[in-house]
Amino acid sequence: MRITDTGDLWWKNAVIYCLDVETYMDWDDDGVGDLPGLIQRLDHLADLGVTCLWLMPFYPTGDVDDGYDIVDFSAVDPRLGTPGDLVELIRTARDRGIRVIADLVVNHTSENHPWFKEARKSTDNRYRDFYVWRSDKPPSTKNEAVFPDKEEGIWTKDDRTGEWYRHHFYRQQPDLNTANPQVRDAIAKNIGYWAELGLSGFRVDAVPFFLADTANTPYDDVAHPHDYLKSLRAFLTRRAGDAILMGEVNLPYEQQALFFGDGDGDGTSDGDELNLQFDFIGMQNLYLAMARQDATPLADALTARPVIPRDAQWATFVRNHDELTLDKLSDDERAEVFAAFGPDPDMQLYGRGLRRRLPTMLGGDPRRIRMVYSLLFSLPGTPVLYYGEEIGMGENLSAEDRLAVRTPMQWSSGANGGWSRAPRRRLVRQLTEGGYGPEHVNVADQRRDPESLLNFVQLLVRRYRESPELGWAREADVLDQPHRCVLAHRSTWGDGSTITLHNLSDQPVMVPLRLDDCDDTVALVDLLRDGSCTVAKDGRADIELGGYGYHWLRVVREDDRRLL
């Protein structure tokens, strides 16, 4: 195993942390988080072990879709700071060993963007073709709207010209026309600008949506929609050789595979499209498995993963900044998860997801919460944490829609959770209250508690980083054993191999394993606690798992020189 490879393809065993500058730390006490405040909290991220910081949109915005309706792609929202502050953030983060990536929103702009203001002036305006228009009345498109409770369809009539413009999201977010080479050039310039300032890549929003129009125009310079994604990857690689594109592609596995760009699909060559994709299928089946206390759905999802390019990676996650989407489950399966983790209709969103955080869904059971995060970090892939997960933050259901899980970071038990000294009425977002409020859940208290969730997540991060086989394994080797409630899988890369076991039920079990390449000269050393398991001469090992128990067991041979 060549440890030097992990530096070349840093994203394959990174620890990614997502946050919204607006809700992370307010340093000038105006009630809005800002870049100077985030800089002051970089040491928290470094101490946690984060190696890549993902910033949600920090651009000027119409503030309809929490920053995703962008007014200027090449500027910083003045409420959050200046471009100079962003450069200081990138420089200081790099000093702590943390790369910074940002959201790239290619699918749409704000209706207040200068391009759209010009486009709606007349049908022959030079910016008209930057967006998608139609002159005839559209049919019903209710089922195509991303936010079906907010929009009746994806077309809205603009009274200024009498034509309809398309918007898959809110009507205040007109879709860009990526079939227009001028649009593609403008997007590339923005990518180049931020790369020049030091960003190490982008999380690409709604990838299938923005590719939908590409190559739709005859005699265009792009023959196939995926050629556009290839050109973005090539452009970014020319500008910053180790920069990444991490894509949001919520599609079945066989369709996701196309977005990595490995044409023959044998996994022996590098890809030329997205470097990472979020494993939505695995995440949704994780929740179904937890609801049933049966690991089978997750095991099936892991074994169904397609082969991916040598340099590509799955981004694994328990929670993100949107609703917890369950759209790829069947109606009956989704109903099971709703019943287990969000039975109140107010906890559900768009008929397809949950607007809750993990600790509240699991009733605050620390055994179960820790088991889930242990499982996350053990899955083959790159783990992505959403801010506040490391301390077990809950949601605020009194907030609208997705904002329930986008509450301010809880730094201390003091006023406003220590994130702002502004009067409560001026806060951009209200904090969670009750048992998950900052007086009970905060960073300051957990830093000083060796038994805290924060310290446990730090341990997971450390062990994950020390076990590159967890990120580099070609596939999840699900091990045979008799208990449906247990996921046992093995990750191997080079001479490194780790076996992880997780019990999704509250009942203790004894897990018998058969390891054909092991004998009584091999030890299974626990990486999360003191102890080891013996292996019989014929490769058999019996592993005891408590209720919601978990083990990370490194396969250690007599000549092994790795630190334990």
CB 189 within 8 A of CB 183: no
DSSP 3-state of 559: coil
CB burial readout 495-515, b (16+ within 10 A) else e: ebbbbbbbbbbeeebebebeb
User: Which parts of 264-387 fold into alpha helices (H)?
Assistant: 280-292, 296-304, 331-341, 358-361, 366-378
Question: Taking Cα atoms as reference points, which of 104, 70, 100, 79 lies closest to residue 88?
Answer: 100
Catalytic member of 22, 66, 205, 213: 205
Q: How far apart are CA 451 and CA 255, in angstroms?
A: 43
Helix count and strand count (H, E) for the chain? 18, 22
Helix (H) or strand (E) holding 502: strand 496-503
CB 539 within 8 A of CB 517: yes
Reading the block at residue 2, the tokens are: 């060549």
Q: Kindly give the pairing relationship between strand 276-278 and strand 244-247.
A: parallel
Give the list of residues 6+ apart from residue 370 with CB closer than 8 angstroms, or none. Answer: 453, 456, 548, 550
Cα distances from 81 to residues 52, 286, 409, in angstroms, run 21, 38, 18
Q: How far apart are CA 450 and CA 156, in angstroms?
A: 55
Burial class, 219, CB count within 10 angstroms (exposed 0-12 / middle 13-18 / buried 19+)? exposed
Cα distances from 78 to residues 40, 59, 172, 359, 564, in angstroms, run 18, 9, 21, 34, 48
Other Cβ atoms less than 10 A from the Cβ of 132: the count is 23
Based on the residue annotation, tell me whether 205 is a catalytic residue of this protein: yes
Catalytic member of 20, 69, 77, 248: 248
CB 383 within 8 A of CB 15: yes
Helix (H) or strand (E) holding 184: helix 181-196
DSSP code of residue 271: -
Cα distances from 298 to residues 332, 471, 498, 546, in angstroms, run 17, 18, 19, 20
Determine the angle formed by the axes of helices 296-304 and 280-292, rounding to 10 degrees.
160
CB 46 within 8 A of CB 98: yes
What's at 261, amino acid-wise? G
Helix (H) or strand (E) holding 229: helix 225-239
CB 293 within 8 A of CB 504: yes
Which residues form the catalytic set?
205, 248
